[in-house]
Amino acid sequence: MKYINPLLPFIFGCVLLILEPAMSRLAVINLGGQIVLFILIACIPAYKTGRMSYVDIAWPWGLVLIGILTYTYSNGHWLRVLIISVAYIFIGLRMGLGALNMWKSGWFNTEFPRYQYQRRRWEKSGKTNVSLVIQVDILIQGLANASFLAFPAFIIAANPQAHVSIFEIIGIVIWMAAFVMESIADGQKLMFLKQMKKSGLKNKVCNIGLWSYSRHPNYFAEWMVWNALIIAAVPSWFYKMTLHQSHSNLALWVLIGIGLLFVSRIMYLTLVYLTGAKPAEFYSLLKRPEYKDYQQSTNVFFPGPKK
């Protein structure tokens, strides 16, 4: 059971979507699509190579799939459906195209450090069947796309109202700002690496631009992208909740609302502890002599002034 238990919350999230009549058809199609996508792009390559890194291709393209399916099958107001669909497609393409470029460049010939770090966790928790746990971890990310990460899109796209809420406007503004911030942070990191390579310097710490205010500004911005989607989804969730008359339907919609908030928690834990900051810093400390000083002077996640 220790191998299967991590799947249970995401299976529960899938069940919530399927039980809700307004989103049931879309949820079933998305679940099937995500399973096929992850099996073909991540599970089979991981089984053949023993490397989990292929999930970094499947996950963002799964977000693109959510955007396409939302636009195709949702019955909400056309502008609301269009905006949230484009938002998901943009999020997925930004990372998905980058992952494909890395695959073409040979980066996937070795396991990414964050997934090497995962093996340390598995060993510590007594999970010795590495092949099985790799497949389970891949399925977790696939089921996350089929459940909680689809909540904002499906909730917003189920709202038929033409009226635009102030929360939706705030959500869109934050989403755009966070998306731009993430792109700038990645661009600054790439520029820094190119400059260091040109100068013949190795294992230097990137502390320019946004990286001087946070050790992981790209992860923080990615987290804010999802928080923005949650904020934008709140009016649509509340509108749909007021339509439910029976106690059972109301209880289901309340659980869906809790799942919507849970998206922020999932992304924070992932970006800070699971595959984000913590494993990245473990290897940065081993490779970069100056990184310890960088840790002591710069916030790990939330941007702020130098300590």
Mean pLDDT score, 7-16: 96
Residue 245 is predicted with a pLDDT of 65
Band the pLDDT of 250: cuts 50, 70, 90. Answer: confident
302 in a domain, yes or no?
A: no
State the CB neighbour count (10 A cutoff) for residue 249.
Answer: 16
Band the pLDDT of 307: cuts 50, 70, 90. Answer: confident
Give the separation between CA 188 and CA 254, rounded to whole angstroms. 42
Residue 217 is predicted with a pLDDT of 97
Counting the structural domains of the chain, the total is 1
> In Å, how far are 146, 159, 192, 220, 263 from 81, measured between CA atoms?
18, 9, 38, 26, 20
Say if residue 235's pLDDT is above 70: yes
253 in a domain, yes or no?
A: yes
Could you tell me the end-to-end alpha-carbon distance of the chain, in angstroms, rounded to an integer? 44
DSSP classification of residue 204: -
Give the separation between CA 280 and CA 287, rounded to whole angstroms. 11
Name the pTM for this structure: 0.94
- What average pLDDT does the chain have? 94
Residue 191's identity, in one-letter code, is: M
Per the structure, the complete domain to which residue 73 belongs is given by 5-297
